[in-house]
Amino acid sequence: MSVDTQTGTTAGTPSTGSVLEIRDLHVTVGEGDDAKEILRGVDLTVRAGETHAIMGPNGSGKSTLAYSIAGHPKYTITGGTVTLDGEDVLEMSVDERARAGLFLAMQYPVEVPGVSVSNFLRTAATAIKGEAPKLRTWVKDVKSEMEQLEMNPTFAERNVNEGFSGGEKKRHEILQMRLLKPRIAILDETDSGLDVDALRVVSEGVNRTREEGQVGVLLITHYTRILRYIKPDFVHVFVNGKVVEEGGAELAEKLENEGYASYLKAAAEGNQA
Amino acid sequence: MSASPENTSTTDALAEDVAVAPATLAGELFAAGVGAQAGPPTTPAPGTGAAGQASPGAHSHGGPAPTGSPAERFASTDPDAFGVPTGREETWRFTPMKRIRPLLDGASSDAHLTWTTDLPEGVELTSVEAGDPLLKGLPDPVDRLAALARQRSGGAAVVRVAAEAQLDRPVTLGLAGTGSDEVVWGQLVVEVGAFAKATVVLDHSGLARYAGGVTVLVGDSAQVTLVSVQDWAPGAVHGGQYDAVVGRDATFRQVVVTLGGDLVRLVSNVQYAGPGGSAELFGVYFADETQHQEHRLWVDHAVPNCTSNVLYKGALQGESARTVWIGDVRIRPAATGTETYELNRNLVLTDGARADSVPNLEIETGEIVGAGHASATGRFDDEQLFYLCSRGIDAETARRLVVRGFFADVVQHIGVNELQDRLMASIDTRLGALPGLDEQPVEVA
Ligand SMILES: Nc1ncnc2c1ncn2[C@@H]1O[C@H](COP(=O)(O)OP(=O)(O)O)[C@@H](O)[C@H]1O
Ligand SMILES: [Mg+2]
Whether chain B has a CB inside 8 Å of the CB on A99: the answer is yes
Q: Is B59's pLDDT higher than 60?
A: no
Q: Please give the average per-residue pLDDT across A2-25, as a whole number.
A: 63
- Is A199 inside a domain boundary? yes
Distance from CA of B340 to the nearest CA of A (A): 20
Q: How confident is the model at residue B429 (pLDDT cuts 50, 70, 90)?
A: confident
Residues B312 and B228 in one domain: yes
Q: Is B367's pLDDT higher than 90?
A: yes
Q: How far apart are the C-alpha atoms of B196 and B166, rounded to whole Å?
A: 6
Query: Residue B85 has what pLDDT?
Result: 95
- Is B90 inside a domain boundary? no
Contact A98 B390 (CB under 8 A): yes
Whether chain A has a CB inside 8 Å of the CB on B387: the answer is yes
Residues B293 and B386 in one domain: no
Closest ligand to Cα A56 = 1
Query: Residue A262 has what pLDDT?
Result: 87
- HEC profile of chain B: CCCCCCCCCCCCCCCCCCCCCCCCCHHHHCCCCCCHHHCCCCCCCCCCCCCCCCECCECCCCCCCCCCCCCCCCCCCCHHHHCCCCCCCCCCCCCCHHHHCHHHHCCCCCCCCEEEEECCCCEEEEEEECCCHHHHCCCCCCCHHHHHHHHHCCEEEEEEECCCCECCCCEEEEEEEEEEEEEEEEEEEEEECCCCEEEEEEEEEEEEEEEEEEEEEECCCCEEEEEEEEEECCCCEEEEEEEEEECCCCEEEEEEEECCCCEEEEEEEEEECCCCCEEEEEEEEEECCCCEEEEEEEEEECCCCCEEEEEEEEEECCCCCEEEEEEEEEECCCCCCCEEEEEEEEEECCCCCEEEEEEEEEECCCCCCEEEEEEEEECCCHHHHHHHHCCCCCHHHHHHHHHHHHHHHHHCCCCCHHHHHHHHHHHHHHHHCCCCHHHCCCCCC
Query: Residue A237 has what pLDDT?
Result: 95
Looking at the 3D structure of chain A, how many domains does it have?
Answer: 1
Residues B415 and B360 in one domain: no
Query: Residue A33 has what pLDDT?
Result: 86
Closest ligand to Cα A242 = 1
Mean pLDDT of chain A: 91
Percent of chain A at pLDDT > 70 equals: 93
**ipTM score:** 0.93
The maximal CA–CA distance of chain B, rounded, in angstroms, is: 64
- Is A168 inside a domain boundary? no
Q: Is B76's pLDDT higher than 90?
A: yes
CB B411 within 8 A of CB B428: no
Residue A183, phi-psi category: left (phi > 0), alpha (psi -120 to 50), beta (remainder)? alpha
- Is A53 inside a domain boundary? yes
Q: How far apart are the C-alpha atoms of A66 and A68, rounded to whole Å?
A: 6
Q: How far apart are the C-alpha atoms of A184 and A207, rounded to whole Å?
A: 14
- Is A235 inside a domain boundary? yes
Looking at the 3D structure of chain B, how many domains does it have?
Answer: 2
Contacts of B444 in chain A (CB under 8 A): 73-74
Domain, as residue range, for B163: 2-26+108-379
CA A118 → CA A138, A142, A144, B65, B322, distances in Å? 10, 9, 14, 45, 34
Mean pLDDT of chain B: 84
Q: Please give the average per-residue pLDDT across B298-315, as a whole number.
A: 97
Q: Is B82's pLDDT higher than 90?
A: yes
Residues B279 and B359 in one domain: yes
In this structure, the strands spanning A87-88 and B339-348 are unpaired
Whether chain A has a CB inside 8 Å of the CB on B162: the answer is no
Q: Is A273's pLDDT higher than 70?
A: no
Domain, as residue range, for A99: 19-107+185-272
* Best to test chain B binding among A95, A121, A131 (most B CBs inside 10 Å): A95
Q: Is A99's pLDDT higher than 70?
A: yes
Whether chain B has a CB inside 8 Å of the CB on A115: the answer is yes
Pocket of ligand 1 (CB under 6 A): A 29-30, 36, 38, 56, 58-64, 74
Mean pLDDT is lowest, of A98-112, B162-176, B400-414, for B400-414
Q: Please give the average per-residue pLDDT across B237-256, as a whole number.
A: 98
Contact A128 B395 (CB under 8 A): no
CB A237 within 8 A of CB A44: no
Residues B401 and B349 in one domain: no
Q: At which of B364, B379, B394 does a domain end?
A: B379
Q: How confident is the model at residue A267 (pLDDT cuts 50, 70, 90)?
A: confident
- Is B429 inside a domain boundary? yes
Residues B137 and B167 in one domain: yes
Nearest to A73 among B388, B412, B442 (CB): B442
Q: Is B431's pLDDT higher than 90?
A: no
Contact A123 B408 (CB under 8 A): no
What is the CATH number for A266? Answer: 3.40.50.300
Whether chain A has a CB inside 8 Å of the CB on B16: the answer is no
Contact A111 B404 (CB under 8 A): no
Mean pLDDT is lowest, of B149-163, B257-271, B430-444, for B430-444
Query: Residue B231 has what pLDDT?
Result: 96
Residues B163 and B220 in one domain: yes
Question: Rounded to the nearest whole angstrom, what is the distance from the C-alpha of residue A234 to the centroid of ligand 2?
Answer: 19
Whether chain A has a CB inside 8 Å of the CB on B395: the answer is yes
Q: Please give the average per-residue pLDDT across B293-307, as a whole number.
A: 98
Query: Residue B398 has what pLDDT?
Result: 93
Distance from CA of A137 to the nearest CA of B (A): 20
Residues B308 and B389 in one domain: no
Model pLDDT for residues B7-48, shown as the tens digit of each residue:
333 333 333 333 333 332 222 222 222 222 223 333 333 332
Contacts of B414 in chain A (CB under 8 A): none
CB B237 within 8 A of CB B266: no
Contact A123 B405 (CB under 8 A): no
Contacts of A128 in chain B (CB under 8 A): 391-392
Q: Please give the average per-residue pLDDT across A147-152, as a whole number.
A: 95
Query: Residue B66 has what pLDDT?
Result: 63
- Is A162 inside a domain boundary? no
Mean pLDDT is lowest, of A5-14, A112-121, A238-247, for A5-14
Model pLDDT for residues A233-266, shown as the tens digit of each residue:
999 999 999 999 999 999 988 888 888 888 888 8
- Is A97 inside a domain boundary? yes
Q: Please give the average per-residue pLDDT across B152-165, as a whole number.
A: 96
Contact B383 A73 (CB under 8 A): no
- Is A142 inside a domain boundary? no
Q: Please give the average per-residue pLDDT across B390-402, as a whole number.
A: 93
On the CB side of B176, CA atoms within 13 Å amount to: 7
Question: Rounded to the nearest whole angstrom, what is the distance from the C-alpha of residue B230 to the centroid of ligand 1?
Answer: 47
Residue B132: which residues within 8 A CB-CB, separation 6 or more?
B155, B156
- Is A117 inside a domain boundary? no
- Report the amino acid identity of residue B78: D
Q: Please give the average per-residue pLDDT across B398-412, as a whole number.
A: 91
Q: Is A5's pLDDT higher than 60?
A: no
Query: Residue B71 has what pLDDT?
Result: 76
Residues B143 and B188 in one domain: yes
Q: At which of B344, B362, B379 does a domain end?
A: B379
Chain A 34-63, residues with CB within 8 Å of chain B CB atoms = none
Query: Residue B365 has what pLDDT?
Result: 93
Measured in residues, chain A has a length of 273
Whether chain B has a CB inside 8 Å of the CB on A110: the answer is yes
- Is B253 inside a domain boundary? yes
- Is B136 inside a domain boundary? yes
Q: Is B417's pLDDT higher than 70?
A: yes
Nearest C-alpha neighbor of B387 from the set A202, A191, A188, A252: A188
